[in-house]
Each structure stands twice: as C-alpha cells, then as structure tokens.
Amino acid sequence: MRKGNQYETTVMGKEPLWTDINTLSETEIGCRAAKAINWYNYFCSDEDYKEFVLDYCKQIKDISKETLNQIRSLNKNNYLFRRLGSICRIKTLGGKVGSTDESYFNDHLSDLIASCKGIVVIEDSPKVVRSSVQDHIKDKICSTIGELEGKIDEFLNASDYRQFMKSFKIETWIINNKLKAYECQAIHDYYSEIIKEKQEALEGNDPQLKEGYEYLGKVKLKKFVELLNDIIDITGQFATQKKQRKPRKKKAKSPEKLIKNLKYLKQDTGLGLTSIDPRDIIGASKVVVYNTKYSKVCLYETESLEGFSIKGTTLQNVNKSVCKVVRKPKEFFKGLGNGIRSFTNHYDGLKTKETEATPRLNEHTIIVKAFK
C-alpha cells in the first residue's frame, strides 16, 4: 500500500482496524466499512487489490489450490480485483460489511471463480540442481590458483625474469582480483607444499631433483623460490585479515505487526475514557496511560530518535517511566487538555508519591495520549 504524506494521513487517517469489532453496533460496522473502502480506494493500487483477494482466498477451504493458482495467473488489472479487494482486506483483518455489500461481494467472488474455469496454469519447470556453497568455493579456489599458475608460467618462460619480478607484485595482484580470505588461505596452503620440492632442488642434495630443475639454472631457481616465498607470506597475511562486516539493517516492521499482541483497555465508560489508536505509540516520544485497576496515571518518555516501539505488550526504548495514584480520576481527566504541558501541570499537581512505572501494558490500561 502506498504510504501517504503527512497531509494525506491527517485527512484520511490510518488503515481502519477491526480489533474492537465485538463492541460495535451494526450501524458502526457499516460506517467503518464505508470508511475503510474509501481509504483503500485512495491509497491502494491494482497490485494491492490482487494481493488482498489472494490473501482472502487462501483462508477459504472451499477454494482449491488449483483455483488459487488460476486466480493468481489473472492480470492485476482485472476489474474484479478492484471490486473485491477492499472487502477482502476488511474480512482478512477480521471485519464485516453490511448485508448489501456482503451480497455484492459474494456475487463478484463467484464471478471471479467462474472466470478462472478453463484457464490452464503452466507448471513451473523443474528446478535446476544448484551446486552447493562448498562446491562453489572449491571451484573459485581452483580458478584463482589457475590464474596465479599462469603468472608463474610467465616467470618461468620469460627471457628476462628480472623484469617480470619488478612488474609482478603478489600483493597488488590480490587487491586487483579482490580475493577473499579463504582464497588467500588456499593459495598459502597450496604453495607451502609446492615450494618444498623447489627448495630441495636448490639445496642440491637430491640428484634427480637437481637434474629436473637444471633447465632453470641456479640463479633463476633461487629467484623462483623467492617468488613462491613472497606468495606464501603475503597470502598468509591476507588470509588472517578479517573484513569488517557492516551490521545487517533490520527490516522495519509495520505498526500493525508491532501492536498485534498488545493488550490494552479500549474504553472505560465510567470515566468516559477511550484509548487512542495504539499505532500512534510507534515513533512517539512521550506516552500517557492510565491503569484503571490501580488508579495510576503513568508517563513514559524516550530519548531515542526512532521513538517508542512495542514488543509483545512492552514498550521499547523507554528512558523514563513514572506514575502517580490519581484519587479523583474523573476530575483529573476532565480538566486535562490536549498538550503535554497541560498533562505535566495536572500530573505535578497530584499530591501522591511518584514511583517508577513498569513499561508493560495490560488489559486494564487505557492509552490516553501519545506525543511525537
């Protein structure tokens, strides 16, 4: 769904929820459904409507997987998605619509299912068996060592090997090829074994090795061993360097998901108090709540730039949490204004002792105010 700007959100409000549906009359249900349909018409695209229909159809046992795939294959511009989408979303969130809209909805849902008959959904082609991560690493190591072997061949075949030694630097080669630590470790281990034979040939104690490397000459063989030692030393250093990995950015959860398990009291008719939309807590810097069981008014504050968040039934990022007992709650809330200064003045005027408040909300908690 498209995220509205501040002006649009102020005028149109947030997506209507249905957590309090058991307390609504038929008239109130009809009014909220009309508001919701208008809200979706303003903020949602054809793609959103199609997703709403698919989400709803997944919950219906009478709709087979084959029919669901047929509906999924339809173009998002199909007019039935727009006619059904809003009500599907309302029903998915636990809401209801009036009898007229319900009849309208059932007719068009039947039309949608009927329009899918005869559609042949092409099954996905068989999945290609992909090589494992270990196989990929092995292939990469073999490829990297193969490239380095090519450089060594250049040295062995060069008429002027001194010029090659000046132009080829293993450290530069590693950086230019952006080798990973595991590649450098593999090169280090590989040439640590390879060099042993060359060193024995250079020492001249083994007649067969001495004869085998005689074509290089003693000076070039010595330079060859120096080149391999450089490769072993430098790759060993790079292998021990750990790249500083950036912390993975957590995907922000929507306010609807954050408040999913939140417990609070929607209304107290005796005091004439009604909780605000709990989604307003997300991102707020100050929150005022009232516990009807213990007659305590609580103030929570945060210094976080992201404001408050919610995990389960607990406020997150709380820096200050205080509360006082209110002896005459009707009088206290009757004179309470809309601003934080008005609340602070009323709160400071209470003569009861201030104590630390737990940042956990429950079924006795009215969410009074939230200030950005």
SS (H, E, C) the chain: CCCCCHHHHHHHCCCCCCCCHHHCCHHHHHHHHHHHHHHHHHHCCHHHHHHHHHHHHHCCCCCCHHHHHHHHHCCCCCHHHHHHHHHHHHHHCCCCCCHHHHHHHHHHHHHHHHHHCCCCCCCCCCCCCCCCHHHHHHHHHHHHHHHHHHHHHHHHHCCCHHHHHHHCCHHHHHHHCCCCHHHHHHHHHHHHHHHHHHHHHHHCCCHHHHHHCCCCCHHHHHHHHHHHHHHHHHHHHHHHCCCCCCCCCCCCCCHHHHCCCCCCCCEECCCCEECCCHHHHCCCCEEEEEECCCCEEEEEECCCCCCCEEECCEEECCCEEEEEECCCHHHHHHCCCCCHHHHHHHHHCCCCCCEECCCECCCCEEEEEEEC
At 53, the pLDDT band (50, 70, 90 cuts) reads very high
- Report how far apart, in Å, the C-alpha atoms of 89 and of each of 4, 93, 95 are: 18, 6, 8
* More confident position, 337 or 318: 318
pLDDT for 245 equals 65
Does the structure show a pLDDT above 60 at 243? no
Please give the Cα distance from 296 to 59 (Å, whole number): 42
Nearest Cα residue to 29 out of 39, 20, 40, 41: 20
pLDDT for 47 equals 92
pLDDT for 59 equals 86
Query: Are 286 and 299 a contacting pair, CB within 8 Å?
Result: yes
pLDDT for 168 equals 87
The mean pLDDT of 174-195, rounded to a whole number, is 90
At 49, the pLDDT band (50, 70, 90 cuts) reads very high
At 6, the pLDDT band (50, 70, 90 cuts) reads low
Q: Residue 129: count other Cβ atoms within 10 Å of its Cβ.
A: 6
Q: Residue 231: count other Cβ atoms within 10 Å of its Cβ.
A: 25
pLDDT for 30 equals 86
Nearest Cα residue to 12 out of 46, 36, 47: 36
pLDDT for 87 equals 93
Report percent pLDDT > 90 for the chain.
13
pLDDT for 125 equals 52
pLDDT tens, position by position, 89-135: 999 988 988 888 888 898 988 888 888 887 776 655 555 556 677 88
pLDDT for 86 equals 92
At 41, the pLDDT band (50, 70, 90 cuts) reads confident
pLDDT for 214 equals 83
pLDDT tens, position by position, 274-301: 888 888 888 899 998 999 888 998 999 9
pLDDT for 88 equals 93
pLDDT for 115 equals 86
Query: Are 231 and 184 a contacting pair, CB within 8 Å?
Result: no
Token pair recorded at residue 38:
């208008």
Please give the Cα distance from 228 to 190 (Å, whole number): 11
At 345, the pLDDT band (50, 70, 90 cuts) reads confident
Query: Are 192 and 232 a contacting pair, CB within 8 Å?
Result: yes
At 269, the pLDDT band (50, 70, 90 cuts) reads confident
The mean pLDDT of 199-224, rounded to a whole number, is 84
Residue 104, C-beta contacts closer than 8 angstroms, at least 6 positions apart: 83
CA quadruple 200, 205, 208, 214: dihedral sign: positive
Nearest Cα residue to 86 out of 132, 147, 33, 24: 33
pLDDT for 90 equals 92
The mean pLDDT of 319-331, rounded to a whole number, is 88
Report percent pLDDT > 70 for the chain.
93
